[in-house]
Amino acid sequence: MAVSSHATLIGSASFDGRYDPNSGVAPCLRTHSYARFAQPKSVKGTLASHALSSSRIFKFPPNFLRQLSNKARRNCSNIGVAQVVAASWSNNSPPSPSAAAATSVDAAAAASVSAASDAVALEGCVGNESLKVEEDLGDSRTSVFDSDGSVAIHAGERFGRGRVDDAITTPVVNTSAYFFKKTADLIDFKEKRAVSFEYGRYGNPTTIVAEEKISALEGAESTLIVASGMCASTMMFLALVPAGGHIVTTTDCYRKTRIFIETILPKMGITATTIDPADMNSLEVALKENKVSIFFTESPTNPFLRCVDIKLVSELCHQHGALVCIDGTFATPLNQKALSLGADLVIHSATKYLGGHNDVLAGCVSGSLKLVSEIRNLHHVIGGTLNPNAAYLLIRGMKTLHLRVQQQNSSALRMAKLLEAHPKIKCVYYPGLPSHPEHNLAKRQMSGFGGVVSFEVDGDLTTTIKFIDSLKIPYIAPSFGGCESIIDQPAIMSYWDLNQTERLKYGIKDNLVRFSIGIEEFEDLKADILQGLEAI
């Protein structure tokens, strides 16, 4: 490929991906006025001797990725692509000083372009490591790991993501749209002969890594990540329940989910039957008397941590052609595998344990490719797209998921036992306690009981407020599952717009407390809770 004699390599250069279509090789070299490294004016004399051996990092625009294979392009970002070129250069012997001194700047530039072309021809190889997408690896992508902890760290990244920048962490791809070199490429994409991205609402390389990581943890064929847990739940209902359809849900659940079921779905003629989480007889009646589309519940539920027999529910629902969707936010994929127990879909508010640092809003739904694709198609219309920066935070958070959940499981169980034995506590709700109505079920279908403990203080609204205000460690805030402990009084935090009688319809007493235990040392939390109880 001929290189323009006007191309001068100074400071930091970059490749322009809009290459000559007649040449079929790598893009042209262009100059930038913003140099990453300061260069002397005599760069022409020094460049030639170092062009092929320098470790200088070049900056490349996103369109250079279009020169990579489709598979590599799908799984990489626009950061540090120059190392593909560097890998190719490093395999060549450096030119002798005399030969290098005799080489012109234009020749050096041509060699750079040639090296870039060679890197493209290698189908995105860095050194000896081939860039492949995960689906090419089949089941082997996570078979090297025996634990969810390792899967949470490496799934979607260690084997599969195009690692053209050699970065351990997944780069953030901040773009709202993706371009095509020519219309023929666009048509190939539309007719599914080529894989690419098109628009930010339809997909993003950073978000895909997070989706694949969650799929690996849940044992799901596919995962869709959206802007919040409520976004995931509402789109699931809208996508899978037909107008005039019927759903079954449980008495104890997140209030905003209940509001959607009771006020929004009826506008589409969708009705609901509400049952106790353990009432399988009522479930069977509802299945026989209605054409049920979906059974939906949390397990454990919010805020009383009731557990549903996922295996039995799935068997009953499938006999009547109904789907089962479990919100496993309180459980996490580490403590409970709803899909392996028979559920069709599992939803998480990834804001909670998956993100784990109280710094990101996200939601996800996982299951078969067929069902998730139906929800994804609606998502493409409605929106609710997760920002790629939030996807990065989610990926980062999941790398410590197993460590955080282990600590929270342990501390929560110890705290539940401590509270149950305290004379100023009337009742404790935690599936790890033998007193919990579904304790045996929880032991059967969960490997850990989670980091949230709900309990009732022996007192009224004012007494409970005094207890909470006396605590020094937990924040008074909504949400749960983060590193920091959080405590709240549901009667105030979530149900204050209802009067006391209306709150009691949902079992929400004025003295109810929901305690989300973080990863602080248990002894510190214990001392704080005890001094708070002493204050009342």
Count CB-CB contacts under 10 A for residue 310.
25
Question: Are 486 and 480 spatial neighbours (Cβ–Cβ below 8 Å)?
Answer: yes
With tokens 């600590």, the residue in question is 407
Is 353 noted as a catalytic residue in this protein? Answer: no
Is 34 noted as a catalytic residue in this protein? Answer: no
The pLDDT assigned to 489 comes to 98
Catalytic residue selected from 19, 178, 254, 353: 254
Tell me how far apart the alpha carbons of residues 58 and 31 are, in angstroms, rounded to a whole number. Answer: 11
Phi, psi of 188 (to 5 degrees): -60, -40
The pLDDT assigned to 314 comes to 98
The pLDDT assigned to 86 comes to 37
Is 514 noted as a catalytic residue in this protein? Answer: no
Question: Options 3.90.1150.10, 3.10.450.50, 3.40.50.720, 3.10.20.30; which CATH number does 400-535 get?
Answer: 3.90.1150.10
Residues of the chain with pLDDT under 50: 1-139, 163
**Annotated domain spans of the chain:** 400-535
Catalytic residue selected from 118, 148, 252, 327: 327
pTM above 0.75, yes or no: no
The pLDDT assigned to 156 comes to 77
Per DSSP, the residues of 343-402 read -SEEEEETTTTTT-SS----EEEEE-HHHHHHHHHHHHHH--PPPHHHHHHHHHHHTTHH
The pLDDT assigned to 231 comes to 98
Phi, psi of 515 (to 5 degrees): -115, 110
Residues ≥6 apart with Cβ < 8 Å to 215 = 155, 221, 222, 223, 366
Catalytic residue selected from 201, 258, 311, 424: 201
The pLDDT assigned to 230 comes to 97
According to DSSP, residue 34 is labeled: S
Secondary-structure breakdown of the chain: helix, strand, coil percentages, each rounded to the nearest 5 = 40, 15, 45
Catalytic residue selected from 352, 503, 509, 514: 352
Is 201 noted as a catalytic residue in this protein? Answer: yes
The type of residue at 200 is G
Tell me how far apart the alpha carbons of residues 56 and 86 are, in angstroms, rounded to a whole number. Answer: 9
Three-state secondary structure call for residue 522: helix
The pLDDT assigned to 160 comes to 58
